[in-house]
Chains A and B, each alone.
Chain A
């Protein structure tokens, strides 16, 4: 497909488990963003990649959160030792370049529920 895809769409984890969330950006898009969206709230920035370089990870809430994009395309967000407060929708977005006023295209998100 032409859009951003994410997998899995839904993930249920027991507290303490590790999870990995995948994002496939639009082909050729240089920039990739991860956002966290709590119920009834707007997306909150987690981290940003330009190609394979992670240029900003200031939004990651703790050192349990880790993101990578080793080949500059697919990205994985990993959460170690999940906690209940990690329950949220994790959105991935990509843009074809970086700069002011460049559209970010969002994927459908992964809904993570930690029991």
Chain B
């Protein structure tokens, strides 16, 4: 079951903040966040694990609410380079193949 991302799209001016949400109807073991620019590979941003551990970049933060099965990605003081489509990938297995189930993405545009 595909996680639901919101908003679908957002436009920011440089320096503004944004929050991208990812919700699941099933229990999650981990949530992975990626940014993809047009025609390029998805780039790893952050992983949040059940239990609270986080791995990722210093300038990007995220949260994982296990009770609500939700994750939020916080982008602060946005830069032009933040533009792209953000995907959350959810790991439902906890074991096995560790495949990720991705949301439909949130398109972020940062303008001067």
Contacts and interface: CB of A to CB of B under 8 A. Distances in A.
Contacts, number: 75
Contacts of A40: 104-105
B102 A43 contact: yes
B99 A103 contact: no
A107 interface: yes
A41 B36 CA distance: 11
Contact of A99 (B2, B42, B98): B98
For chain A, give the interface size range. Answer: 20 to 34
Contact of A42 (B47, B95, B105): B105
Please classify how large the interface on chain B is, using the bins under 10, 10 to 19, 20 to 34, 35 or more.
20 to 34
Given A55-B97, A56-B99, A101 B55 contact: yes
Nearest to B34: A106
A44 interface: yes
Contacts of B49: 100-101
Given A4-B41, A101-B55, A103-B44, A42 B98 contact: no
Interface string A33-62: 101000011111100100000011001000
B26 to A, nearest CB: 15
A87 interface: no
Interface of A: 3-4, 31, 33, 35, 40-45, 48, 55-56, 59, 91, 95, 98-109
